Every structure is written in structure tokens, then in C-alpha cells.
Amino acid sequence: MTKKTFYEFLGVEPEASPEEIKTAVQFLAKKFNPKMYPHNRRVASYFNKIQLVYNILMNPQKRAAYDAKLAEKIGEAQASKEKSGQGNWEKIVYSVDIHWICYIEALLLMMIPAYFLLVEQKFLYDFLEKFYFLNQAYVEIACSALLVLSILVLQHRLLRQFTTILMITSHQTINKFGLFFKTNIEITHAQFEDIQIKQGFLGKFLDFGTIKMRERGENDQIKIIQVSMVASPHEFEKQLMRIIRQNAFRPREILDSF
């Protein structure tokens, strides 16, 4: 018999807000009100299950526990598919980029010495004449060194931009980084524990931040993915929770379809 999760039963997405869940419940409760179908046990049973779903999904603690049970079943479902020769495919669901803000620091650092060395040399020399203890040659060397340093920083940021990969697949979250010494960290959806997003004032304004994910594997071994200056981190979190919930194996507490 086909089974349904609580979200499928209500006809909402797994990431639905409490308001959306309440609206869906009110619609079903009105449609299957037992007073409209007296002595109909089927409708009465359906109405009772509507109340059950409402009580669980509108309670933050109960909903979190229910979602956790869904996520725990992903590994079992995947293992079962692999044994039967299915489920070996894996597709990319969502990926994010490093935000352009990572270049600002390097560009600002580059503009200052470049401006004085290439554009306003006369201003620099006039300024140095006011301070006899500043050696003109040393100042020019310092500006040149700062310019070279800023170019190296910009190259590092560009390298990071093109070598850092953070993506969600149908089975796991993958973080790859590095050019010559590549590092690959994978967190499976079945063992995913939590995700944290840190944003400062500028990060909230420009929509970037640091994503930190944690996996608790066998023997309580912890695996962590942490990437800074990620563009649209909350959208990443939304997509991750959506795929975890949608791919979850139906637990024992699911409802029969009617």
C-alpha cells in the first residue's frame, strides 16, 4: 500500500511554514468535517489523522523529532536500493559560489599604492617633503611591496573562487577545495546533524556568510564542513533541508493514503 509522509498528507512542501501548514489543515478539516458525513467511519478516521498531523507539525519539538526520523531513514533506503541494484546514481541538486565580496579587500589594498605610484606621484613626493625623516626611496619600495602583496592576495582569492566547490547532491553534501593538494569532505544526508550560518551586518546586507555543517558518524566521530564568504547561505540551508526531507525514507509513523 502506498504510504504518505505528514507533508504529503497535507499537500505541502517539507519546508512549509507553520502558516502554510495551518492553512492546509484548515482546508482538509473543513472538507472532511464529520458533521457533514454522519456515521461515515472513513471520514471520521481521516479527520482524526488530520488532527494528529496538526498537533505534531505545529509543535516545534515534535516536528523536529519527526523530521529527524525522516532523515535517519535515508541511509537505510539508500542501502536497500544499492542491494537491489538501484539508487547508484547521484545528481547535483544545488551548488553555491564564493561571494564577490572576497575580492574587495584585495582590490582596496591594491588601489592605494597603485594610485600613489602610477597616478599621483607628485602628490606623494610633495607629501614626503613635509616629513624630512621619511626617505623617498624607502616609501616607494614600501608602496611597491604593498602593491605586489595585494596582487598576490587577489590571486589567492581568485584561486579560492575557482577551486572551492560546495554542493548538495541527492545523497550528500560535498566540499572540495585546493589546487595541488585537493581536499574533499563529504557529509551524507543520513548522518547530517546540524547546520549553522554566521552573518555580520554587511553579510546580511549583501547576502553572504559562513556555513558550518556537522556530521556525527559511527563511534560519535564528527566531520565538519566550514566555508566562509558563501553567497546566499540561507538559500543553501533551505535547499539542503528540502532534499533531506524529501528523500527521507517513510518511517513507521507515516499515514496510509486514502
CA dist 27 and 12 (Å) reads 12
**Model pLDDT for residues 96-118, shown as the tens digit of each residue:** 888 888 777 777 777 777 776 66
In CATH terms, is domain 3-83+248-256 a member of 1.10.287.110? yes
Looking up cell 550528500 gives 172
pLDDT of residue 131: 59
- What is the CB neighbour count within 10 angstroms for residue 186? 14
Top pLDDT among 144 and 18 is at 18
Q: Report residue 152 CA to chain centroid gap.
A: 30
CA dist 107 and 153 (Å) reads 9
Q: Is the pLDDT of residue 164 over 80?
A: yes
When the candidates are 2.30.29, 4.10.240, 1.10.238, 2.115.10, the CATH number that belongs to 92-98+164-246 is 2.30.29
Do 74 and 244 form a contact (C-beta atoms < 8 A)?
yes
CA dist 203 and 205 (Å) reads 5
Do 186 and 168 form a contact (C-beta atoms < 8 A)?
no
- Note if the pTM is more than 0.75: no
**Model pLDDT for residues 20-74, shown as the tens digit of each residue:** 999 999 999 988 888 888 888 888 888 999 999 999 999 988 888 888 887 776 5
Residue ranges covered by each domain of the chain: 3-83+248-256, 92-98+164-246, 102-161
Ranking 3-7, 13-17, 57-61 by mean pLDDT, the lowest is 3-7
Top pLDDT among 142 and 88 is at 142
Q: Which helix (H) or strand (E) holds 241?
A: helix 233-246
